Structure 1
């Protein structure tokens, strides 16, 4: 799995865990829903750390908590 897919899965999991929709997450995070949707699909190949920080703020978690998940343990190498 690559980093972009891991970030998308983590966001989806956190939304399911908290029973919130992507639009609600966007409102809580202060970022446009389109930004989150682009992170969840193939439009955004490089989800920005500032957007991830805002999502974490909206969820009430730290960036460390966001990335502290087995999804990020064995990522594919990005440089080929």
Structure 2
């Protein structure tokens, strides 16, 4: 699994944990729905850190919490 797929999977998991849809995340994070859709569908192969930070703000977590997922840690090995 590549990094972009892990990012998409993490976003989906966080949405599920919080009981929100990607559209609700879009509103909470002030990120266009099309941007989130592109990330989740693998169309956006390079989401920038500013976008991920906004998504983290929408989830109410830090960047560190977002990237402290075991899948990211396994990717570095």
TM-score normalized by the length of structure 1: 0.90
Q: Which has the higher contact order (CA 8 A, sep 6+)?
A: 1
Unaligned runs of 5+ in 2: none
Higher Cα Rg, which structure: 1
Unaligned runs of 5+ in 1: none
CA-based RMSD of the aligned residues comes to: 1.1
Count how many residue pairs are aligned between Structure 1 and Structure 2: 76
Q: Secondary structure of the residue that 1:73 maps to in structure 2?
A: helix
TM-score normalized by the length of structure 2: 0.94
The structure 1 segments of at least 4 consecutive aligned residues displaced by more than 6 Å after TM superposition are none
Instruction: Compare the two structures and name the one with the higher helix fraction.
Output: 2
